[in-house]
Copies of this chain bind each other. A is one copy, B any other.
Amino acid sequence: MQVTNIPVDARNRESTRHGTHGFPMAVYNSILSRNVLGYTRLHWHEELQFCAVVQGTVTFSVNEASCQLETGDGIFINSGYLHMARPLGNPDAGYICLDIHPRLLCGFPGSVLEQDYVLPALSDPVLTARPLYRKDPWQADVLQKIREIYQESETKRPGWELLATARVYEIFAAILCHHPSDDFRTRKWSRANTVAQRILSYLTAHYGERITLAQIAAYASYTESECCRIFKRFTGESIFAYLRELRLEQSVRLLDSTDQSISEIGENCGFSSPSYYIEAFRQQFHCTPFQYRKKKRS
């Protein structure tokens, strides 16, 4: 299973359900080129995320930090942090991804597992993310377990949920035991994270309208220049470059799922004119919206 276009709610929190209620672990192989924009857009969710790159090189950004992970490397991303993934070089780069709701690890309410390990880890401001490199033995072991969970989940043999749960506990224990890390720019959960989350929320809620930097700054309760600086630090691009991609991505959904005209879609997605929409689309996807829709429907 691959979520090719990650739906986000108004707070930019991913609204895909990860796994089932009874077994809240989603396992998938994410090939970045299958995303509309060719990468996984900035988002966050309550689930803990464990990734292992299986093809190419992927740049993961979590909060304000980035790391380049080659095939065989991976990363743990804690609950609630903004993150994105882009291919570096080969656009078909991809990774195995386990999204695990913390309740899978908490056990029964009030358990030692919940009280002494899971809740402290969730609220630890230093434990943002932890890259995992194949050259370090304990990290190689964690990466191997991530791949094993993926393989087991494909077979769905009786008992696989028990074994997957066992492996997740082992992975989680290994990460906690080697925390805090020295080799990653972990930073305190900061006001900057809140500001970046608010900017994203505003863009997601209002991309169909005309948006000014003054409006964004007012919503984020921060100066315009600080908003630009913080947003760039988190996403690696400017607010308006990000907004343009967000609008294009939304327009692809409308092209796919509605019979609205190209002009209507451009307007609904906040482009100031049809010609500007078509030009932006061509720059991003190397074809016009009309060509895209025709090809998709043929």
Q: Pick from B109, B162, B170: contact of A113, CB below 8 A.
A: B162
In the complex, are the beta carbons of B159 and A177 less than 8 A apart? Answer: yes
> Does any Cβ of B come within 8 Å of A176's Cβ?
yes
A residues 238-278 near B (Cβ < 8 Å) are: none
In the complex, are the beta carbons of B20 and A162 less than 8 A apart? Answer: no
A177 to B152, CA, bound (A): 14
> Does any Cβ of B come within 8 Å of A192's Cβ?
no
- Interface of A: prevailing SS: helix
Using CB atoms, name the residue of chain B closest to A157. B177
Using CB atoms, name the residue of chain B closest to A20. B112
The digit string for A112-143, where 1 denotes a CB below 8 A from any CB of B, is 11011100000000000000000000000000
Q: Pick from B106, B166, B177: contact of A169, CB below 8 A.
A: B166
> Does any Cβ of B come within 8 Å of A161's Cβ?
yes
A residues 95-111 near B (Cβ < 8 Å) are: 103-104, 106-111
* Chain B residue contacts of A158, Cβ below 8 A: 176-177
Q: Pick from B110, B162, B167: contact of A172, CB below 8 A.
A: B162
In the complex, are the beta carbons of B177 and A116 less than 8 A apart? Answer: no
> Does any Cβ of B come within 8 Å of A89's Cβ?
no
The digit string for A165-181, where 1 denotes a CB below 8 A from any CB of B, is 11101101100110000
> Does any Cβ of B come within 8 Å of A21's Cβ?
yes
Q: From known contacts A166-B167, A166-B170, A167-B166, infer whether A23 and B161 are also in contact, taking CB-CB under 8 Å.
A: no
Using CB atoms, name the residue of chain B closest to A117. B162
A113 to B164, CA, bound (A): 11
Where the two chains meet, the residues of A that have a C-beta atom closer than 8 Å to any C-beta of B are 20-23, 103-104, 106-113, 115-117, 158-159, 161-163, 165-167, 169-170, 172-173, 176-177
In the complex, besides A103-B107, A117-B161, A165-B166, 7 extra interface pairs with C-beta distance below 8 angstroms are A103-B108, A107-B107, A112-B161, A113-B162, A158-B177, A159-B177, A162-B170
| Nearest 4 Cβ contacts at the A-B interface | A166-B169, A162-B173, A23-B112, A22-B112
- Selected A-B contacts with CB under 8 Å, 26 pairs: A21-B110, A22-B111, A22-B115, A23-B111, A23-B112, A104-B108, A107-B108, A112-B161, A113-B161, A113-B162, A117-B161, A117-B162, A158-B177, A159-B176, A159-B177, A162-B169, A162-B170, A162-B172, A162-B176, A163-B169, A165-B166, A165-B169, A166-B169, A166-B170, A166-B173, A169-B169
